[in-house]
Amino acid sequence: MSEYANPSVLVSTDWVHERLNSGIKIVEVDVDTQQYGAGHIPGAVAFDWTTQLQDQTRRDIIGKDEFEQLVGAAGISNDDEVVIYGDNNNWFAAYALWVFKYYGHDNVKLMNGGRSKWLDEEDKPLTTDVPSPAPTTYTVKGTNPAIRAFVQDVLGVVKDGNANLVDVRSHDEYSGKVIAPPGMSETAQRGGHVPGAKSVPWVTAVNPDGTFKSRADLEKIYFQDAGVIEGKDTIAYCRIGERSSHTWFVLKYLLGLPNVKNYDGSWTEYGSMIGVPIER
């Protein structure tokens, strides 16, 4: 993984296995929140993306105080090394990493291949024991708003064309044929895509085993095939912000683009607003 622009933020299943008793803090974040109970990496705590990583009243990520409480209750300190993994090729694991980065926790990594790769490897242990970590006092020392985009940022790009827009949803979502994938409840009033956005489905970045493709393959996918311009700022979006967190991770850390933002409002916000331009 040393081929990537920022290889230290991505670790292998073997790397995690070798350090299970070394003091790293492991967090599992799944799309299917029942997966953790069926078996998980020993010592891993679970964060529920629906109830713990998102505000329960307004449409937003959890606030600073709630983040401090969540992370502190998980036994994580400001200086701890945190490894996050999950199902669905790390969709919400990448989202959780993005939230950690937003709240200024720099020493956080993603486990390449996620939950499925760990399960597929016979030498990797599983447990159903739920750890009871000693709580810590976690303090957010500052936020990193440079990695988050809001709808006004997206509309500015539509007007001026001063940044890459990367739509990471499926081609059917991008074209407006469907508004949400089958079985997904979050939707919008209109289908289509943000004008000028490049269609690069998130899944094109991963191998069959869920690990990320090589840097050369990723450069071909985004720069050569899709026409993402390396020197421009970039905003990634999907439907609710989790798939775009995955692509944000690829563009920022694996390919090293200098200014990449995740638009977590994504299509459920943009596709429901009155008066905004939409292409199909």
Active site residues: 238
Q: Which residues contact 183 (CB under 8 A, 6 or more apart)?
A: none
Q: Other CB atoms closer than 10 Å to residue 107's CB: what's the count?
A: 15
The residue whose two tokens read 């990448």 is 94
- Strand segments, DSSP code E, in the chain are 10-11, 25-28, 45-46, 82-85, 108-111, 163-167, 198-199, 233-237, 260-263
Specify whether the CB–CB gap between 176 and 280 falls below 8 A.
yes
CA diameter of the chain: 55
Q: How far is CA 105 from the centre of its chain?
A: 15
Q: In angstroms, rounded to a whole number, what is the distance separating the alpha carbons of residues 266 and 187?
A: 11
For the record, the structure tokens of 90 come out as 């790390």
Nearest CA to 179 out of 106, 225, 112, 239 is that of 239
Query: Alpha-carbon Rg of the chain, whole angstroms?
Result: 18
Phi, then psi, of 231 in degrees rounded to 5? -80, -5
The residue whose two tokens read 């919008």 is 188
Specify whether the CB–CB gap between 23 and 134 falls below 8 A.
no
In angstroms, the Cα distances linking 156 to 84, 193, 194, 261 are 33, 15, 11, 14
Q: In angstroms, rounded to a whole number, what is the distance separating the alpha carbons of residues 187 and 20?
A: 40
